Amino acid sequence: MTVVHVPSPLFSYTGNRAEVKATGATLAEILNDLDRQFPGFKFRVIDEHDRIRSTILFYIGGRVTRNLLDFVGAADEVHIIAALSGG
Amino acid sequence: MVALYVGTKKGAWIFRGDGARKKWKLEGPHLLGQLVSHIVADPRDPKSVLMAAKPGHLGPTVYRSVDGGKTFKEAAAPPAFPKGHKQSVKVVFWLTPGHASRPGEWYAGTGPHGIFRSRDGGATWESVDGFNAHPDRVKWFGEGEQGPPDDPNTHSIIVDPRDANHLYAGFSIGGFFESPDGGASWKPLNKGVAADFLPPGEYEYGHDPHCVRISPAKPDRLYQQNHCGMYRLDRPGDAWERIGRNMPKEIGDIGFPIQPHPTDPDTAWVFPMDGTQVWPRTSPGGRPAVYVTRNAGKTWKRQDKGFPKSQAWFTVKRQCFAADAEKNVGLYLGTTSGQIWMSRNEGEKWEPMASHLPPITSLESGPRT
């Protein structure tokens, strides 16, 4: 199971949890499992063409990625980062 | 009981008034912090309320309530373009309940331009491919990010109360379009409408309707507030008449919303804003006023009693002027400075109803409850 760190705008899906666990060998598989656990989660961060929304960043094991097919290693943690904005 | 559904840049509120519309109970905020582009109650079922929302960082969606707006649940399948479409939905901008004969049917307009339909009260949404995949789409709307500063958006989706398959929709920018077959085919309906921002000429499409409303009392009549003037169209005619030419010259005929009377087809209200030079889009001269026509646009009367007399720079967006269905029609204006102004007597006198809300993005009167 991979530990996934979730930003506060997504807490309404995770029951206010900042840290959840998901299964998958790639970022795409991790997101699919999160969507299974928390329906609607994936569409908040990925658009209908499987593109990462412009206001979202993913880190795998501390490395930023924009590729959903990147592998997630056994020891890797995933961070989901929502862009900061003012106003 | 009159209900007013208010969307803002930071969530939604519902106002419920007593019979005299003197006391209002305020409910909310709902979805605090989310941009609520539109919140609409279903005239066929007042327990059903839909809300188009988008948290700043996350994708757009629709929330629905089946308990009259007490609680909201996210749609299981929000509006999204099908695979193969080049664009993705950035915002759900507009919601329209479907025909009275089709309970549970709703339409949504998006940015970039898109039309979606729900047949289950907003729980799941399907692409109206007759529009979204139309072969002339690029010709009508361009390919990239052309459009207003807040992105292009689809609005003013209208269902003819006499024919469930007769639809209209407005596109900023792109023009006003009509479908005779439930969205399977579309054609522009812009004859007579100015497009002063384009090189001189007559254009079939490419216009900028800001708000189009059908007269509930006479569904053959449409009123339009355009980027370039105020218009009326009487079907089956297809040429708009610029009724804004009859507005006082010093005020002009620029604005966002237009609101027809619920029972008198010759009466409509507008809220003019400054469309000179860099388009401040604020009350001309800092003196807010509504203008009403009682003769389908031949003449206009200023209605400013109760509004500040100076230094009041209201901006009222296209979904932010509503009328209720009471005997003395109540009117409601929502400003981007977070105020709601109301009139209990068809605009003769105005008073502030709420202040200190976030910038108001939509305001709709709901069915009596």
Percentage above 90 pLDDT, chain B: 87
Angstrom distance (rounded) from CA B36 to CA B86: 25
| Least Cα separation, residue B67 to chain A (angstroms) | 20
CA pair distance B315, B303, nearest whole angstrom: 16
Domain carrying residue B82? 34-189
Q: Show the tokens assigned to A35.
A: 């969507």
Does ipTM top 0.85?
no
pLDDT on residue A82? 86
B96 within domain boundaries: yes
Q: Give the burial class of B220: count Cβ atoms within 10 A of its Cβ; 0-12 exposed, 13-18 middle, 19 or more buried.
A: middle
Residue B331 in domain: no
Q: What average pLDDT does this structure show over A37-51?
A: 94
* Interchain proximity B57–A56, CB inside 8 Å: yes
Average pLDDT, chain B: 94
The pLDDT tens digits for B180-238 are: 999 999 999 999 999 998 888 889 999 999 999 999 999 999 999 999 999 999 999 99
pLDDT greater than 80 at residue B32: yes
CB-CB: which of A10, A49, A85 is closest to B83?
A: A49
Would you say how long chain B is, in residues? 369
Question: Residue A73 burial (CB < 10 Å; 0-12/13-18/19+)?
Answer: exposed
Tell me if B338 sits within 8 A of B314, measured CB to CB: no
Domain assignment present for residue B261? The answer is no
Nearest Cβ partner of A47 from B55, B82, B88? B88
Residues A39 and B74: their CA atoms lie apart, in Å, by: 10
Q: Distance (Å, rounded) from C-alpha A18 to C-alpha B19? A: 46
Could you give the CA distance from residue B286 to residue B278 in angstroms, rounded to a whole number?
16
B364 domain-assigned: no
Residue B26 is assigned to a structural domain of this protein: no
Q: What is the pLDDT of residue B170?
A: 97
Beta bridge partners of B6: B13, B363
A40 and B82 within 8 Å at the Cβ level: the answer is no
Shortest distance, CA A71 to any CA of chain B (angstroms):
24
Say whether B248 sits in a helix, a strand or coil. coil
State the pLDDT at residue B275: 87
Residue B269's pLDDT is: 98
In a domain, B42, yes or no: yes
Give B-chain residues touching A83 at CB under 8 angstroms: 57
Q: How confident is the model at residue B369 (pLDDT cuts 50, 70, 90)?
A: low
Rounded mean pLDDT of B117-123? 98
Give the confidence band of B291 by pLDDT, cuts at 50, 70, 90: very high
Pairwise CA distance, residues B178 & B191, whole Å: 13
pLDDT value, residue B183: 98
Residue B146 confidence (pLDDT) above 60: no
CB contact under 8 A, B81 and A48: yes
Q: Which residue has the tokens 């997101």?
A: A31
List the one residue out of B23, B20, B24 whose CA is nearest residue B5.
Answer: B24
Q: B58–A9: do the CB atoms touch at under 8 Å?
A: yes
Cβ distance A10 to B74 less than 8 Å, yes or no, reads no
Residues of chain A with Cβ-Cβ distance to B55 below 8 Å are 9, 44
Per the structure, how many domains does chain B have?
1
Who among B59, B78, B83 is closest to A53 (CB)?
A: B59
Indicate whether B283 belongs to any domain.
no
Q: Is residue B176 part of a domain?
A: yes
CATH number at residue B73: 2.130.10.10
Res. B82: pLDDT tops 80: yes
The per-residue pLDDT of chain A, averaged, comes to 92
